[in-house]
Amino acid sequence: MIAGTLSRYFGLRFLSAVLAVFAGTLVLTAMIDFLELMRRSGDLQNVSALLIAKITLFRVPFITERVLPFAVLVGAMFCYLNLSRRLELVVARAAGVSAWQFIAPAIIIAWLIGMLASTVYNPVSAILREQSTRLEGDLFGFEGGFRNATSGFWLRQRNEEGQAVINAKSSRQQGIELGGVTVFRFDPAGRFQDRIEAKNAILEAGYWRLEDARFYVSGVAPAERELYRLKTTLTPAQVGESFAIPETVPFWQLSAYIDAAENAGLTASGYRLQYYQLLAQPFYLVAMVMLAASVSLRFFRFGGVQKVVLGGISAGFLLYVLAKITGDLSKAGMMIPVAAAWLPAAIGGITGVLALLYQEDG
């Protein structure tokens, strides 16, 4: 009975700490994003603060989804340091409760949080992010879509008329709608034919619908057309592999995207990596709890709290860097997606377990 009561108590303290950290991050992110959108919309007419707040509300879940592991890490450290400061860990140890019993409730709760984050929070944040891009597109034009910070999105297509290279500054609806489009067309012999610039392009059955298109041909004055249909044999799956951002695809739709991409002869490595990362997320959060416990279960009266906090944050940051490196290696084809997704969680968990074994059992 005593063990069950302590487990519920430690579990509730951990859960409240994680929720407090995550809520604080949510509010801070919302404020910053709201101010940034207000600055961007300063030159626009008849823009209400309510609309800006609505866009921010839809964007924030997608942004804060990336900081959930750090919320678990900081929340666990705050929970255990606070328990130690109030000598509750000392009393529990005197009653014969081991460190493994301290962290067991947190591990279970972190695993459940990871499951909910992957299966519920991720689909909701992806849907809301898509809604926010629609609202941003209506407000700012296609500048509100997902953007590539370097040279935009690129795609090559080929048909009986020759081939075309498409570049877009922004993408929406998994690549179905493009903004800031430039098309370089070549004839069947491979000779450059012309360049088309359009405000946006929408993929429809058998063609791209280019709006406000301007044609540039060598030695000829530019010509403009309000609407132009560019033939294509591309499917939404093929377009999505080049233009879609895997992070914007809901968890429950990733399998369908993977199958569609592979049926079209594409690698779908980005979708696979995202799918396995979401599957590994519960264990990744458990690894964060283990790392936090390994640096924050010492008695508060021994001092060195600043070093403990710095050590925990550094360990979490290194694990995040490792996840980014393995993700980049997977996208470059140098590591299989399943290994890239599970390796950070495995290394973090093993490191935390070994550190706790050394501290507790010698």
Domain boundaries, the chain: 2-142+268-361, 147-245
Q: Are 297 and 89 in contact (CB under 8 A)?
A: yes
**What pLDDT score was predicted for residue 144?**
45
Amino acid at 342: W
Rounded to the nearest 10 degrees, the angle between the axes of helix 269-296 and helix 68-85 is: 10
Q: Minimal CA–CA distance to 269: which of 336, 218, 320, 212?
A: 336
Position 296 pLDDT exceeds 90? no
Report helix, strand or coil for 5.
Answer: helix
Lowest-confidence pick of 44-53, 92-101, 165-174, 200-209: 92-101
Can you tell me the distance from the alpha carbon of 124 to that of 6, in angstroms, rounded to the nearest whole number?
Answer: 34
Lowest-confidence pick of 52-61, 105-114, 160-169: 160-169
Can you tell me the distance from the alpha carbon of 316 to that of 77, in angstroms, rounded to the nearest whole number?
Answer: 11
Q: Minimal CA–CA distance to 254: which of 111, 122, 115?
A: 122
Q: What are phi and psi of 250, to 5 degrees?
A: -60, 150
- Looking up tokens 């998994």 gives 174
Average pLDDT (181-194) is 87
Let me know the angle formed at the C-alpha of 148 by 263 and 275, rounded to the nearest 5 degrees: 40
Handedness of CA 69, 8, 353, 84 (dihedral sign): positive
Can you tell me the distance from the alpha carbon of 27 to that of 52, in angstroms, rounded to the nearest whole number?
Answer: 15
Can you tell me the distance from the alpha carbon of 294 to that of 288, in angstroms, rounded to the nearest whole number?
Answer: 10
Report helix, strand or coil for 179.
Answer: strand
Position 150 pLDDT exceeds 60? no
**What pLDDT score was predicted for residue 16?**
93
Task: Give residue-wise pLDDT tens across range 53-72.
Answer: 888 888 888 888 888 999 99
Diameter over CA atoms, the chain: 89
Average pLDDT (140-146) is 52
Q: What is the average pLDDT value for the chain, to the nearest integer?
A: 82
Can you tell me the distance from the alpha carbon of 287 to that of 64, in angstroms, rounded to the nearest whole number?
Answer: 19
**What pLDDT score was predicted for residue 300?**
53
Strand partners, 192: 186
User: Which has more pLDDT, 79 or 241?
Assistant: 79
Q: Are 113 and 285 in contact (CB under 8 A)?
A: yes
**What pLDDT score was predicted for residue 301?**
54
Position 50 pLDDT exceeds 70? yes
**What pLDDT score was predicted for residue 22?**
93
Q: Element (H or E) spanning 120, and its range?
A: none
Q: Are 352 and 296 in contact (CB under 8 A)?
A: no
Position 81 pLDDT exceeds 90? no
pTM exceeding 0.85: no
Can you tell me the distance from the alpha carbon of 304 to that of 316, in angstroms, rounded to the nearest whole number?
Answer: 19
